Amino acid sequence: MRVLGVDPGLTRCGVGVVEGVPGRPLTMLGVGVVRTPVDAELGLRLVAIERGIEQWLDEHRPEFVAVERVFSQHNVRTVMGTAQASAVAMLCAARRGIPVALHTPSEVKAAVTGTGRADKAQVGTMVTRLLRLDAPPKPADAADALALAICHIWRAPAQNRLQQAVALHTAKATASKGRTA
């Protein structure tokens, strides 16, 4: 499974591609940051993020895109910028028919460190170990993007099985109601 992780942000949008399957060593295929100037017009910043993500999609051809789920923060401007960058990433993937998964920061931290309360340094350290890198990716947005990809690789199979079980249960319940009516 090849996953593009996206840590959305207007100034620095972390991107990282990881390939692998649960239970086997993972491989980093690329990591970086799509940057936009703080003083640029919002529309131009979003276009720059779109172009950057499109380049990553063209170059790495991921099967899935994992994006950090936007969560409420005290700074509304930060939340809005994060949400806008997140939407651009989802749009780019949707145009190509690539499934998108959203993961909360605590899900990602728990997947790579074992605790949903890990700090950025702990996440960077574990990403470095899991991908057998010489040093943690910089800036932290890049490491977070890789962590998102790792989280998706490890969680997707279990989530898919759960969704299939729920669908099967719902289908059986609907069929059962149809027979007794």
Residue type, 136: P
pTM, 2 dp? 0.87
Q: Mean pLDDT for the chain? A: 92
Query: Residues annotated as binding site for Mg(2+)?
Result: 7, 68, 141
Query: Any idea which fold 2-180 has?
Result: Nucleotidyltransferase; domain 5 (3.30.420)
Closest by CA position to 112, among listed 124, 102, 100: 124
Matching residue, tokens 């994992």: 66
pLDDT per position as a tens digit, 139-151: 999 999 999 999 9
Question: What pLDDT does 113 receive?
Answer: 96
* Catalytic residue numbers, as ranges: 7, 68, 141
Q: Which residue has the higher pLDDT, 29 or 75?
A: 29
Closest by CA position to 104, among listed 63, 155, 38: 155
Confidence of residue 70 (pLDDT cuts 50, 70, 90): confident
Say if residues 2 and 29 touch (Cβ distance below 8 Å). Answer: yes
pLDDT per position as a tens digit, 15-60: 999 999 998 999 999 999 999 999 999 999 999 999 999 999 999 9
Say if residues 4 and 65 touch (Cβ distance below 8 Å). Answer: yes
Question: What pLDDT does 170 receive?
Answer: 78
Burial bucket for residue 84 (CB in 10 Å: 0-12, 13-18, 19+):
middle
Tokens of 157: 């199979």
pLDDT per position as a tens digit, 91-140: 999 999 999 999 999 999 999 999 999 999 999 999 999 999 999 999 99
Closest by CA position to 8, among listed 93, 75, 97, 70: 70
| Cβ-based neighbour number of residue 111 at 10 Å | 21
- φ and ψ of 64, to 5 deg: -140, 155
Query: Residues annotated as binding site?
Result: 7, 68, 141
Domain boundaries, the chain: 2-180
Confidence of residue 167 (pLDDT cuts 50, 70, 90): low
Question: What pLDDT does 181 receive?
Answer: 60
